[in-house]
A and B are shown apart, each in its own frame.
Chain A
Amino acid sequence: ETGVTQSPTHLIKTRGQQVTLRCSSQSGHNTVSWYQQALGQGPQFIFQYYREEENGRGNFPPRFSGLQFPNYSSELNVNALELDDSALYLCASSTAGQGMNTEAFFGQGTRLTVV
């Protein structure tokens, strides 16, 4: 089975721009969660998607939005980028529902730098 893959691995954006990060979930997984990890800190939960619907959100403003597609891959979109958005963005996939319970597998992350 393939693991969780994220793209791109690194990117640099200018303050005020918009960015889209992508995540392909592990084969057979139906749930994708996104986390922001600022330098020297633990990951913070942004939101989760389950079967294409948002299934919980952390303390992030509406300019952070997401999508999940029928193949369970996902996008994280951030509008009006701020310098504090510079971080490692991690995607995790898992399987939920119908008595199934798997651990969350993480991708390698996308390093976003806002200048």
Chain B
Amino acid sequence: AQSVTQLGSHVSVSEGALVLLRCNYSSSVPPYLFWYVQYPNQGLQLLLKYTSAATLVKGINGFEAEFKKSETSFHLTKPSAHMSDAAEYFCAVSRMDSSYKLIFGSGTRLLVRP
């Protein structure tokens, strides 16, 4: 069985500050891990994915995440927040195959203060 826990339903940062969104996973098999972003009234856009290559994954819009097996974590970071980063962020896990049956966390809403 697989599951994802996102710590903090809301995170608020100042523009220019570090963004850190936390994700812990549980998986009985080697996982694929993903971060998606959702803007209001829109679908999901992939930010980045871990598929067993490099443990530090760089994504779009300056985001990156590090896979830490010992901590079962895949936290999302960005060095400097921009107002346009305000959105809902979802961490997801799937089995290490190509089927992409995604199990999502409950999401973290990122607020960026001017």
Chain B contact-residue range equals 20 to 34
Q: Is A106's CB under 8 angstroms from B98's CB?
A: no
Indicate if A50 sits at the interface (CB-CB under 8 A). yes
Q: Which of B43, B49, B102, B104 has the most CB of A within 10 A?
A: B43
Contact B102 A104 (CB under 8 A): yes
| Cβ–Cβ contact A33 & B101, under 8 A | yes
Give every chain B residue within 8 A of A21 (Cβ-Cβ): none
Cβ-based interface call for A73 (8 A):
no
Q: Smallest CB–CB gap between B33 and chain A, Å? A: 12
Q: Identify the closest chain B residue to A45 (Cβ).
A: B101
Which of A11-19, A61-69, A77-85, A95-103 is near enough to bind chain B? Answer: A95-103
Cα A102 to Cα B36 with chains together (Å): 15
If over half of B's interface residues share one DSSP class (helix, strand or loop), that class is named, otherwise mixed; here it is loop
The 6 closest A-B pairs by CB, nearest first: A42-B104, A106-B43, A104-B100, A106-B44, A101-B98, A96-B98
The chain A residues found within 8 Å of chain B, CB to CB, are 4, 31, 33, 35, 40-45, 48, 50, 55-56, 90, 92, 94-97, 100-109
Q: What is the predominant secondary structure among interface residues of chain A facing chain B?
A: strand
Q: B residues bordering A, Cβ < 8 Å?
A: 4, 36, 42-46, 49, 51, 90, 92, 97-107
Known contacts A103-B46, A106-B43, A108-B42: does B98 contact A56 (CB below 8 Å)?
A: no
- Say yes or no: A31-B100 contact (C-beta < 8 A), given A41-B106, A42-B90: yes
